Protein backbone atom coordinates (compact mmCIF):
# COMPACT_ATOMS: atom_id res chain seq x y z
CA UNK A 1 0.00 0.00 0.00
CA UNK A 2 0.92 3.67 -0.10
CA UNK A 3 0.75 4.33 3.63
CA UNK A 4 3.34 4.35 6.41
CA UNK A 5 4.38 0.80 7.21
CA UNK A 6 5.70 -0.28 10.61
CA UNK A 7 7.07 -3.62 11.72
CA UNK A 8 6.69 -5.64 13.74
CA UNK A 9 3.09 -4.91 14.77
CA UNK A 10 3.68 -6.56 18.13
CA UNK A 11 6.89 -7.18 20.02
CA UNK A 12 7.34 -8.92 23.34
CA UNK A 13 10.74 -8.76 24.96
CA UNK A 14 12.22 -9.58 28.32
CA UNK A 15 13.53 -6.78 30.47
CA UNK A 16 17.12 -6.06 29.53
CA UNK A 17 16.86 -7.14 25.91
CA UNK A 18 17.45 -4.81 22.97
CA UNK A 19 14.69 -4.20 20.42
CA UNK A 20 14.57 -2.59 16.98
CA UNK A 21 11.44 -1.12 15.46
CA UNK A 22 11.20 -0.33 11.76
CA UNK A 23 9.33 2.41 9.89
CA UNK A 24 8.89 2.66 6.14
CA UNK A 25 7.47 6.13 5.36
CA UNK A 26 5.37 7.26 2.44
CA UNK A 27 7.53 7.65 -0.65
CA UNK A 28 8.59 11.26 -1.13
CA UNK A 29 8.00 12.33 2.46
CA UNK A 30 11.09 14.14 3.70
CA UNK A 31 10.01 14.39 7.32
CA UNK A 32 9.78 11.41 9.64
CA UNK A 33 8.68 11.39 13.26
CA UNK A 34 8.65 8.86 16.08
CA UNK A 35 6.11 9.02 18.91
CA UNK A 36 5.46 6.98 22.04
CA UNK A 37 1.84 6.44 23.02
CA UNK A 38 0.96 5.03 26.41
CA UNK A 39 -2.46 3.49 26.96
CA UNK A 40 -5.18 6.13 27.15
CA UNK A 41 -2.83 9.01 26.39
CA UNK A 42 -1.88 11.11 23.40
CA UNK A 43 1.23 10.45 21.34
CA UNK A 44 4.41 11.89 22.86
CA UNK A 45 7.06 13.22 20.48
CA UNK A 46 10.35 11.33 20.52
CA UNK A 47 12.41 12.46 17.55
CA UNK A 48 12.29 14.02 14.08
CA UNK A 49 14.25 13.53 10.87
CA UNK A 50 14.43 15.68 7.79
CA UNK A 51 15.75 13.33 5.13
CA UNK A 52 18.69 11.58 6.84
CA UNK A 53 19.39 14.33 9.36
CA UNK A 54 18.07 13.92 12.87
CA UNK A 55 17.11 17.51 13.65
CA UNK A 56 15.34 17.05 16.96
CA UNK A 57 15.78 14.27 19.48
CA UNK A 58 14.61 16.19 22.50
CA UNK A 59 11.82 13.72 23.25
CA UNK A 60 13.97 10.60 23.60
CA UNK A 61 13.52 9.55 27.26
CA UNK A 62 17.06 8.31 27.83
CA UNK A 63 20.29 7.39 26.11
CA UNK A 64 18.92 3.85 25.78
CA UNK A 65 16.80 5.16 22.90
CA UNK A 66 18.44 5.64 19.53
CA UNK A 67 16.96 6.38 16.11
CA UNK A 68 18.46 6.48 12.66
CA UNK A 69 17.45 7.09 9.06
CA UNK A 70 20.70 6.54 7.18
CA UNK A 71 19.43 6.91 3.61
CA UNK A 72 16.61 9.33 4.25
CA UNK A 73 13.90 6.72 3.83
CA UNK A 74 13.46 3.77 6.21
CA UNK A 75 14.01 4.55 9.86
CA UNK A 76 14.80 2.34 12.84
CA UNK A 77 14.11 3.09 16.48
CA UNK A 78 16.31 1.04 18.79
CA UNK A 79 15.82 0.61 22.50
CA UNK A 80 18.67 -0.91 24.46
CA UNK A 81 18.38 -2.71 27.78
CA UNK A 82 14.59 -2.44 27.75
CA UNK A 83 12.70 -1.71 30.95
CA UNK A 84 9.06 -2.26 31.84
CA UNK A 85 8.27 1.44 31.54
CA UNK A 86 9.21 1.23 27.85
CA UNK A 87 6.01 -0.75 27.23
CA UNK A 88 3.87 1.37 24.90
CA UNK A 89 2.80 1.74 21.29
CA UNK A 90 5.51 3.31 19.15
CA UNK A 91 4.09 5.29 16.27
CA UNK A 92 5.93 6.49 13.20
CA UNK A 93 4.63 9.33 11.04
CA UNK A 94 5.84 10.98 7.86
CA UNK A 95 5.00 14.17 6.01
CA UNK A 96 6.12 16.51 3.24
CA UNK A 97 7.56 18.77 5.94
CA UNK A 98 6.89 22.47 5.65
CA UNK A 99 5.53 24.01 2.46
CA UNK A 100 5.20 27.77 2.21
CA UNK A 101 5.89 28.01 5.93
CA UNK A 102 2.95 25.73 6.75
CA UNK A 103 3.52 22.40 8.48
CA UNK A 104 2.03 19.61 6.41
CA UNK A 105 -0.21 16.89 7.89
CA UNK A 106 1.48 13.86 9.39
CA UNK A 107 0.49 10.40 8.20
CA UNK A 108 0.78 7.71 10.84
CA UNK A 109 1.55 4.03 10.64
CA UNK A 110 -0.34 1.42 12.64
CA UNK A 111 2.39 1.39 15.28
CA UNK A 112 4.37 -1.29 17.08
CA UNK A 113 2.92 -2.44 20.38
CA UNK A 114 5.90 -3.17 22.62
CA UNK A 115 5.47 -5.21 25.78
CA UNK A 116 8.38 -5.65 28.17
CA UNK A 117 8.04 -8.57 30.58
CA UNK B 1 7.41 22.59 28.92
CA UNK B 2 4.52 23.05 26.58
CA UNK B 3 1.26 21.47 27.70
CA UNK B 4 -1.90 20.94 25.68
CA UNK B 5 -4.98 19.99 27.65
CA UNK B 6 -8.34 18.84 26.35
CA UNK B 7 -11.71 18.70 28.03
CA UNK B 8 -13.69 16.67 28.57
CA UNK B 9 -11.56 13.57 28.91
CA UNK B 10 -14.53 11.39 27.96
CA UNK B 11 -18.03 11.97 26.67
CA UNK B 12 -20.86 9.57 26.02
CA UNK B 13 -23.71 10.81 23.82
CA UNK B 14 -26.71 9.34 22.11
CA UNK B 15 -26.72 9.32 18.35
CA UNK B 16 -28.04 12.62 17.06
CA UNK B 17 -26.74 14.70 19.96
CA UNK B 18 -24.04 17.30 19.50
CA UNK B 19 -20.50 17.02 20.87
CA UNK B 20 -17.75 19.55 21.57
CA UNK B 21 -14.16 19.11 22.72
CA UNK B 22 -11.98 21.99 23.85
CA UNK B 23 -8.22 22.28 23.51
CA UNK B 24 -6.02 24.67 25.51
CA UNK B 25 -2.30 25.23 25.14
CA UNK B 26 0.00 26.75 27.74
CA UNK B 27 1.93 28.48 24.94
CA UNK B 28 1.06 30.26 21.70
CA UNK B 29 0.80 27.92 18.74
CA UNK B 30 1.75 28.55 15.12
CA UNK B 31 -0.98 26.14 14.01
CA UNK B 32 -3.41 23.59 15.37
CA UNK B 33 -4.10 20.21 13.84
CA UNK B 34 -6.88 17.78 14.74
CA UNK B 35 -6.59 14.02 14.54
CA UNK B 36 -9.05 11.19 15.12
CA UNK B 37 -7.96 7.82 16.49
CA UNK B 38 -10.37 4.91 16.37
CA UNK B 39 -10.01 2.19 19.02
CA UNK B 40 -7.02 0.04 18.09
CA UNK B 41 -6.12 2.37 15.24
CA UNK B 42 -3.66 5.13 14.54
CA UNK B 43 -4.22 8.91 14.50
CA UNK B 44 -5.74 10.15 11.25
CA UNK B 45 -5.39 13.78 10.23
CA UNK B 46 -8.65 15.72 10.04
CA UNK B 47 -7.77 19.38 9.52
CA UNK B 48 -5.25 22.16 10.18
CA UNK B 49 -5.96 25.74 11.26
CA UNK B 50 -3.29 28.40 10.91
CA UNK B 51 -4.85 31.83 11.27
CA UNK B 52 -6.00 33.52 14.45
CA UNK B 53 -9.79 33.22 14.78
CA UNK B 54 -10.02 30.79 11.86
CA UNK B 55 -13.13 28.63 11.50
CA UNK B 56 -13.33 25.63 9.17
CA UNK B 57 -16.14 23.19 8.49
CA UNK B 58 -16.10 19.62 7.25
CA UNK B 59 -19.66 18.38 6.84
CA UNK B 60 -20.90 17.95 10.44
CA UNK B 61 -17.56 19.00 11.99
CA UNK B 62 -16.71 22.61 12.85
CA UNK B 63 -13.20 23.59 13.94
CA UNK B 64 -12.18 26.89 15.53
CA UNK B 65 -8.78 28.41 16.37
CA UNK B 66 -8.80 31.03 19.08
CA UNK B 67 -7.85 34.67 18.61
CA UNK B 68 -4.81 34.29 20.84
CA UNK B 69 -3.80 31.05 19.06
CA UNK B 70 -3.73 29.20 22.36
CA UNK B 71 -7.02 27.36 22.18
CA UNK B 72 -9.21 25.50 19.75
CA UNK B 73 -12.44 23.56 19.62
CA UNK B 74 -14.06 20.81 17.60
CA UNK B 75 -17.84 20.63 17.41
CA UNK B 76 -19.72 17.72 15.89
CA UNK B 77 -23.36 18.24 15.00
CA UNK B 78 -25.78 15.31 15.16
CA UNK B 79 -23.27 12.63 16.08
CA UNK B 80 -23.29 9.24 14.40
CA UNK B 81 -21.88 5.92 15.60
CA UNK B 82 -19.09 6.33 13.04
CA UNK B 83 -17.86 9.34 15.05
CA UNK B 84 -16.70 7.05 17.87
CA UNK B 85 -13.02 7.47 18.71
CA UNK B 86 -10.56 9.73 20.47
CA UNK B 87 -10.08 13.23 19.14
CA UNK B 88 -6.70 14.85 19.62
CA UNK B 89 -5.66 18.40 18.98
CA UNK B 90 -1.98 18.92 18.26
CA UNK B 91 0.05 22.04 17.75
CA UNK B 92 3.44 23.39 16.87
CA UNK B 93 4.73 25.98 19.30
CA UNK B 94 5.63 29.20 17.51
CA UNK B 95 9.16 28.90 16.21
CA UNK B 96 9.37 25.10 16.33
CA UNK B 97 8.73 23.53 12.96
CA UNK B 98 9.31 19.96 14.01
CA UNK B 99 7.89 19.12 17.39
CA UNK B 100 4.16 18.48 17.33
CA UNK B 101 2.65 18.41 20.81
CA UNK B 102 -0.53 16.38 21.14
CA UNK B 103 -3.34 17.18 23.54
CA UNK B 104 -4.60 14.77 26.16
CA UNK B 105 -7.47 13.70 23.91
CA UNK B 106 -11.24 13.40 24.28
CA UNK B 107 -12.77 9.96 23.92
CA UNK B 108 -16.20 10.02 22.33
CA UNK B 109 -18.67 7.18 22.71
CA UNK B 110 -21.89 7.27 20.68
CA UNK B 111 -24.77 4.90 21.30
CA UNK B 112 -28.06 4.39 19.50
Give A46-60 pLDDT, tens digit per residue: 999 999 999 999 999
- Distance, in Å, from the CA atom of A3 to the CA atom of A92, rounded to the nearest integer, reads 11
CB contact under 8 A, A43 and B102: yes
Residue B97: per-residue pLDDT: 64
Residue B61 distance to chain A (closest CA, Å): 18
Residue of A nearest to B105 (CA): A42
Q: How many CB atoms lie within 10 A of CB A58?
A: 12
- Touching check for B99 and chain A: CB below 8 Å? yes
Closest CA to B22 of B63, B52, B54, B60: B63
From chain A, pick out residues whose CB is under 8 angstroms from the CB of B102: 35, 42-45
Positive or negative torsion for Cα B26, B30, B19, B1? negative
CB contact under 8 A, A42 and B31: no
Three-class secondary structure of residue A64 per DSSP: coil
pLDDT in tens, B46-92: 999 999 999 999 999 999 999 999 999 999 999 999 999 999 999 98
Amino acid sequence: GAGVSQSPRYKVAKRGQDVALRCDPISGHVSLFWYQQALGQGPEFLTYFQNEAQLDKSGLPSDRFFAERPEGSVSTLKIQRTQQEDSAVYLCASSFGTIGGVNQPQHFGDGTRLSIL
Amino acid sequence: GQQVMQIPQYQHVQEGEDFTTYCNSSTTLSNIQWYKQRPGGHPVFLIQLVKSGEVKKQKRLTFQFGEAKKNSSLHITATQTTDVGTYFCAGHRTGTASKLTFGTGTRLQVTL
